[in-house]
Amino acid sequence: MNIYVSNLSFQIDDEDLRGFFEEFGTVDSAKIVFDRETRKSRGFGFVEMSDDDAAKKAIEALDGGSVDGRPLRVSEARPREERSRPSGSYAGKNRW
C-alpha cells in the first residue's frame, strides 16, 4: 500500500520517515518530496508497505499524531491525477 504523509517538519528525512512506520511492519520505501528548484523539503512524503494490514494499522496509529510539534496527516495515497496540458496556439511555444 502506498501511504501519503503530510504536515512533516522540514527537518525530517527519508530515514526518519521510514522509522515512523517500521514499528508496524516492513517498509519497502520511504521518500520525502523535495522542491526541484530550492531542494528543500515540501513537507510531505510517501511510504510504501507491502503488507496492507500493517499499513492500515500504521495509518490509524500515526494519523493525527505529533512529530516535532506538528500533527501528522497520514492516509492511503490516491493515484496521481493526470495534469492537463496547455492547449491553443501558444502551447509549447515561447511567446516572445
pLDDT in tens, 14-73: 999 999 999 999 999 999 999 999 999 999 999 999 999 999 999 999 999 998 899 999
Q: Is the pLDDT of residue 91 over 70?
A: no
User: Taking every pair of C-alpha atoms in the chain, what is the biggest distance, in angstroms?
Assistant: 55
Q: Is the pLDDT of residue 75 over 90?
A: yes
How far apart, in whole angstroms, are the C-alpha atoms of residue 53 and residue 59? 10
Residue closest to 12 by CA, chosen among 28, 37, 34, 36: 34
Q: Is the pLDDT of residue 94 over 70?
A: no
Q: How much is the pLDDT for 90?
A: 52
Q: How much is the pLDDT for 81?
A: 73
3-state SS, the chain, equals CEEEEECCCCCCCHHHHHHHHHCCCCCCEEEEEECCCCCCEEEEEEEECCCHHHHHHHHHHHCCCEECCEECEEEECCCCCCCCCCCCCCCCCCCC
Is the full-model pTM beyond 0.85? no
